[in-house]
Structure 1
Amino acid sequence: MRDKRTVALMFAAPLLMLTLMYVLFRGVGDVNADLAVQSVDAQLVSAMEVTGMHIHHVAAAASAHDDKSQAQRMIRQNDYAGYLTEHGNTLTLTLANADQAKSALITRSIASAQARLAARAAASTIASQRAALN
């Protein structure tokens, strides 16, 4: 109690540390990500629509020999956070990686959309099998 600096440090240091931790670990707020899609299944695109995700439909280029360079060019020209294409059953995602929050939003929305569609497909299969058994 005689040392004023120690008493002040006992109260001020934890408050300062908690304030710094709050600033560092709080959410970044509203994240808005622009995703370009080309030749992607409409059901997947509709399942991907979440808050903050802006989906832009891009027409297929006539001379799309190199999909990776086309994706990089579209990302640079239009300031997209990602570019998603589908060839057969393969999805190809190219991310700008300029903002990790935007990249995380895009990957989370694609993963959740695929899980939702798989659950719908499983539910319809179970319903059809139940009807066949009855």
Structure 2
Amino acid sequence: MSESGREMTKQDRIKRVARWLIGNGVAANQETLGRMLGYKNKSSFSQVLNGKVPIPTGFTNRLAKLDQRINEAWISEGWGSMIDEKLTEKNREEMYQEQITKDEKIIQLQQELERYKAIVDRLTGRCDNENKQTAS
């Protein structure tokens, strides 16, 4: 980001957060983002984004709550950075730990599946033996 939040207008910071939220998959597009913020139609939300109407009370708070990494103070006043890097690092660590847990669960399920396959093979073998004995 070439310009600091303090050099941008609040309107510009809101637009930047909206683009970031869409770009990071929090919302599919501007219309979806508006609905997530409680707007019934895209025109109403667009008017706020483009400064056609005043920014409603609580708007920056609702916008920041859409992703915990968003720094509300940056949106409101330009303080700090748009993304809280500490939370971003924390999220990376949490995602890493979640992936380890998922990998462990996959291994556990694979082992369980192998046990079930062995049981099925034994049962199938018994059925084959019984069929052979019945046929003779």
TM-score by length of structure 1 reads 0.31
TM-score by length of structure 2 reads 0.30
| The structure with more radius of gyration | 2
